[in-house]
Amino acid sequence: MSNILIIKHGSLGDIAQASGVIQDISENFKNDKIYLLTTKPYLELFRKNPFIQDVILDKRLPRINLIYLYFLMRELKKYKFFKVFDLQNSSRTNFYKNILFPKVGKEIWSSSLTTMPSDKDKEEFNKISVLERFDHQLKETGLTTSNTLKPDFTWASSNINEIKSFYKLEKYILLFPFCSPHLTIKKWPYFNKLIELILEKYGEDYKIVTAPGPSEINDAKDINAIALLDNGRSLDISQLTSLIKESSFVVANDTGPAHIASHVGANGITLFGKHTTAYKVSIERENFKAIQVSDLHNLSAEKVFERLSNSLI
């Protein structure tokens, strides 16, 4: 039995997307032990993943912190990893490669750089969708892929019956009107107008809810929907995953919860401005679609409501 390392630091949407890649790696190395290197926010989550045997914490302290770097590299070296799959594909993880395996190629360290097509440069390769890049990375490393292009994040779910009972949730429409403060270009401004349209047509048929993160609880007061919390705290990732999976419909900005919705089979839509494309981030699925516009301020609530109501028929 050999040890295999997967590196995936974050973010939340990227974690959901990587579920299929991780499953394929595991299924290609059934007789080996799969470890995953990740950051603190996802440590406990990945411990639930059925395709990973153990999880290693990377605090991601600054690279100039030589003491931390020394002990992290010493920790990783003790496992004598036979293969490394770098799914983060960042300058930081490439830095780790240069320390751990400075001269090896894709046969030992599989990353977007070591498996880059010879006829493409990095800028051109990055125009391909995220999941297609992962699929190429695994195939170039000699693996068979069955799940990479269709991630299944349902493994992250947990039981939320108590929360649903507390809020008397049966049929509900779940909204994610938030985004990171530095990424306001992703924020669609008409969620309250959309709520008015939903109430006009459906009345009490559906509850309208949000699930704010820790930094979004105050912002949720500006949205005319029920803000779901667990004893005053934001839902954890597993609770959030279940809430999304069991919803009647999801409307979300291009954020982590939208990617969860995509990869648990939820019915819904995500709203894209000019910051990127739905194709590039591999978010559309059979039940989960995107509306792409050049300026989110020009996307009317009526247009979004039309898509929502057609899906609820």
The predicted structure's pLDDT at residue 216: 95
Question: How many angstroms separate the CA atoms of 258 and 179, rounded?
Answer: 11
Same domain for 118 and 254: no
pTM of the predicted model as reported, rounded to 2 decimal places: 0.93
Amino acid at position 201, single letter: K
> Tokens 């020009």 belong to which residue?
298
Summarize pLDDT for 167-210 with one digit per residue, the tens: 999 999 999 999 887 778 899 999 999 999 999 999 999 999 99
* Domain's final residue, options 112, 128, 152: 152
Closest CA to 279 of 147, 132, 111: 132
HSE-up of 63 (CA within 13 Å, CB side)?
Answer: 8
The predicted structure's pLDDT at residue 149: 97
Same domain for 250 and 271: yes
Residue 19 phi, psi (nearest 5): -60, -40
More confident residue, 124 or 241: 241
Structural domain harbouring 86: 3-152
SS (H, E, C) 168-233: CCCCEEEEECCCCHHHHHHCCCCHHHHHHHHHHHHCCCCEEEECCCHHHCCHHHHCCCEECCECCE
> Measured between alpha carbons, how far is residue 202 from residues 2, 205, 215, 223 in Å?
56, 5, 31, 18
Give the CA angle between residues 173, 174, 180 to the nearest 5°: 155
> Which residues, at least 6 apart from 82, have a Cβ–Cβ distance to it below 8 Å?
2, 3, 4, 32, 108
The predicted structure's pLDDT at residue 183: 76
The predicted structure's pLDDT at residue 282: 94
pLDDT, average across residues 125-149: 95
Categorize the per-residue pLDDT at 90 as very low, low, confident or very high, splitting at 50, 70 and 90.
very high
Same domain for 161 and 34: no
The predicted structure's pLDDT at residue 182: 76
> Tokens 């496992």 belong to which residue?
79
We report the CATH number of the domain holding residue 11 as 3.40.50.2000
Summarize pLDDT for 19-76 with one digit per residue, the tens: 999 999 999 999 999 999 999 999 999 999 999 999 999 999 999 999 999 999 999 9
pLDDT, average across residues 230-241: 97
Give the CA angle between residues 117, 119, 125 to the nearest 5°: 55
Categorize the per-residue pLDDT at 259 as very low, low, confident or very high, splitting at 50, 70 and 90.
very high
Categorize the per-residue pLDDT at 247 as very low, low, confident or very high, splitting at 50, 70 and 90.
very high
In terms of DSSP bridges, do strands 207-210 and 83-86 run parallel, antiparallel, or are they unpaired? unpaired
Same domain for 308 and 162: yes
> Tokens 């490394």 belong to which residue?
84
The predicted structure's pLDDT at residue 117: 87
Same domain for 122 and 180: no
Same domain for 92 and 159: no
Same domain for 209 and 102: no
Quick check: 1 pLDDT over 80? yes
Same domain for 177 and 137: no
Question: How many angstroms separate the CA atoms of 53 and 216, rounded?
Answer: 34
Total of domains in the chain: 2
* Domain's final residue, options 94, 122, 152: 152
Same domain for 267 and 280: yes
Q: What is the mean pLDDT of the chain?
A: 95
